[in-house]
Structure 1
Amino acid sequence: MELLVGGPYTRDKEEHLFGHAALRVVVGSKDITYDFGRYGKTWGTFDSEGEGVLNVWTSFKTYISGENSLGRTTTGFVYNLERSKAEPSQYREMRGLSWAERQAARTQKWTQDGIFMPADLQAMLEGNTEARYDKKNVY
């Protein structure tokens, strides 16, 4: 299993600071990437609400080419599933959000349940010494 954390990027002079996360599962000859995001309509304060869409990619090359075309660097953390465990709450800093966006997000219950921002997920994966990743890839 590989957790993919996409970093921020700038496109057409507009900064996209939120980042992205996806899950890649390779079993035998099958290589599937599960990519969930707000690819549909968004609304609310700072577009804090929206339609979630799950994309299922059967070609990692196609998925990562799309991410790279944005100018985004994606870091992958490879785990052998039988050894994995983590404590996400200590990494919930909402990295990538402005002060105002962090305050708005903290009013929502769903941000209290776990990791909210991809940059927080990456910090957790890099800092976890109990269940260290087996390999780190940067695409």
Structure 2
Amino acid sequence: MGGPYRNHPYGHTALRVTTADVDKVFDYGRYGRTWGLGDSEGEGILKVWNNFNAYIAEENSTGRVTTGFVYETTEENATRILQFFERKTSGKKPISEDRTKIKLRIEDYYALGPNCTTLSVDAIKTIFPDIDRGWSVFQKGLGLGMMEKAAVTARGWPKHIFMPADLQAMLESPSAKKAKKINKYGKSR
């Protein structure tokens, strides 16, 4: 979970999957053209990182603190998450590629979902279907300003957790599925 920083109060969610042979970070966002009220919509670009250090360096360059929740699972389960993302990227042509990542446009991004949090939660639910148990208690819109919360209220709050800080609060709560460990990366400015 990437915390907020000065120009981006919403935070960010990405999902890292490691096996004996694979170490990938799935990082989805509005990394292309944007539109809609307050740029709430955009080209949904999935960055598939093959180098965690490069990913976390990019996150740290923003001045944010990233919190990593580590959940132990089997190779078979990790493969199921990788297959989830393979289905999302099947038939998509890379927008760009370098030695650390590939970028693919998968589906349009919308602030209330699909977004970075909803995609990551959907992927992890393939192996931990109750990871978001009790989500509605944590649906506070942390990171949203007063006007943004009013707009969400007028439209109707989604029936899923969608804000990174809300997800982090949920995962840190006593009722959450316990992480094997929690790592912190970076320093806030």
2:25 touches 2:52 (CA, 8 Å); kept in 1? yes
Q: Structure 1 residue 9 and structure 2 residue 55: aligned? A: no
TM-score of the superposed pair, with normalisation by structure 2 = 0.64
TM-score of the superposed pair, with normalisation by structure 1 = 0.85
Structure 2 distance, partners of 1:28, 1:124, is 29
Q: Partner amino acid for 2:137? A: Q
Residue 113 of structure 1: aligned partner: 159
Task: Point out where structure 1 has 5 or more consecutive residues left out of the alignment.
Answer: none
Structure 1 distance, partners of 2:141, 2:29, is 17
For the residue of structure 1 that corresponds to 2:175, the secondary structure is coil
Structure 2 distance, partners of 1:28, 1:105, is 42
Identity of aligned residues (%): 48
The correspondence for 1:102, drawn from 146, 149, 163, is 149
The structure with the largest strand share of the pair is 1
User: Aligned-pair distance for 1:130?
Assistant: 4.7
Residue 119 of structure 2: aligned partner: none
User: Aligned-pair distance for 1:81?
Assistant: 3.8
Residue 96 of structure 2: aligned partner: none
2:170 touches 2:176 (CA, 8 Å); kept in 1? no
Count of residues in correspondence between the two structures? 130
Q: Structure 1 residue 51 and structure 2 residue 47: aligned? A: no
Structure 2 distance, partners of 1:60, 1:17, is 23
2:17 touches 2:24 (CA, 8 Å); kept in 1? yes
The correspondence for 1:93, drawn from 115, 140, 153, is 140
Task: Point out where structure 2 has 5 or more consecutive residues left out of the alignment.
Answer: 75-126
Structure 2 distance, partners of 1:67, 1:130, is 25
Runs of 4+ with >4 A deviation: none
User: Which whole-Å deviations, capped at 9, do the CAs of 1:101-122 have from their partners, x for residues lacking one?
Assistant: 012123446x513111111111
For the residue of structure 2 that corresponds to 1:16, the secondary structure is coil
What do you get for the CA RMSD once the two structures are aligned?
1.8
Structure-to-structure mapping, 1:17-96, within 5 angstroms: 17-81=9-73, 84=128, 85-86=130-131, 87=133, 88-96=135-143
